[in-house]
Structure 1
Amino acid sequence: PTFSVNDVHSVLKTLDVNKACPPSDISPFILKNCRSSLTPHLTFIFNQSISTGTVPIQWKKANVVPIFKKGDRSNVKNYRPVSLLPCASKVMERCLFN
């Protein structure tokens, strides 16, 4: 598969700016509001990634954060792990899904 500029632009337009992202990542707010400038570059990166079969190493790293479920806060079993993935990798994943 290859991505068009319109594919990437439509995904960027629907980003939820309130979602968490890793501290070292570009915020979804910036990706969404600067989408006109970023779309051609992201489209190129996504298409290169698909054609070479490689994903940037930075996109494979996730911050795992414990989220409290219920019960006693001192019990480790009352937490669940949530992985915060880079926003660009989530955009590419959404483009693939669409």
Structure 2
Amino acid sequence: MVSDLLHHLDTHKSMGLDGIYPRVLKELVEVLIKPLSIMYQQSWLPGDVPVDWKLANVMPIYKKGQKEDLENYRLTSVLEKFMEQIILSAVMWNIQDNQVIMDL
């Protein structure tokens, strides 16, 4: 899963609050797959999120639209977004596998 996320990463996006540019992650995909997988697994199993994902120096990054509108800024961490995708995929797989939601 981490490999898929890294390979499909949009390299035109700005770096997140973690200071990591998506392009760097994508270019180092083969080196990062194992350490990131271990990091996410160690976070997933006990249900603990790294402290750095909870605390951040908030620096809004402008996206588009009117600069006065706070909705046009983002505050993200690339590594945190990966963890969110992993959790979402696991939940969706569990829902589908256990037929929690039936077709109407």
Deviation at residue 84 of structure 1 after TM alignment: 2.2
CA RMSD between the two structures: 2.3
Q: Which has the higher contact order (CA 8 A, sep 6+)?
A: 1
**Hey, what's the Cα distance between the residues in 2 that align with 1:54 and 1:23?**
20
**Between Structure 1 and Structure 2, how many residues are aligned?**
86
Q: Evaluate the alpha carbon distance shift between residue 46 and residue 23 of structure 1 in structure 2; reply closer, same or farther with a 3 A threshold.
A: closer
- Taking a change above 3 Å as real, the CA distance of residues 91 and 62 of structure 1, as seen in their structure-2 partners, is farther
Aligned to 1:4: none
Aligned to 1:80: 70
Amino acid at match of 2:60: V
Aligned to 2:101: none
Match for residue 37 of structure 2 among 24, 36, 43: 43
Q: Give yes or no for contact 2:13–2:22 (8 Å, CA) kept in 1.
A: yes
1:23 deviates by 5.6
Superposed CA deviations along residues 26-55 of structure 1, whole A, max 9, x for unmatched, are 111011111111010000000000112111
Q: Is the 8 A contact 1:22 1:63 kept in 2?
A: no
Distance in 1 (CA, whole Å) between partners of 2:6 and 2:74 is 21
Q: Is the Cα contact below 8 Å between 2:2 and 2:37 reproduced in 1? A: yes
Determine if the alignment matches structure 1 residue 59 to structure 2 residue 50. Answer: no
Give the gaps of 5 or more residues in structure 2: 90-104
Once the two structures are TM-superposed, the CA of residue 58 in structure 1 deviates from its matched residue by: 1.3
Equivalent pair of 1:21/1:27 in contact (CA under 8 Å)? yes
Question: What residue ranges of structure 1 are gaps of 5+ in the alignment?
Answer: 1-6
Aligned counterpart, 2:92: none
Structure with greater strand share of residues: 1
Alpha-carbon shift at residue 19 of structure 1 (Å):
1.3
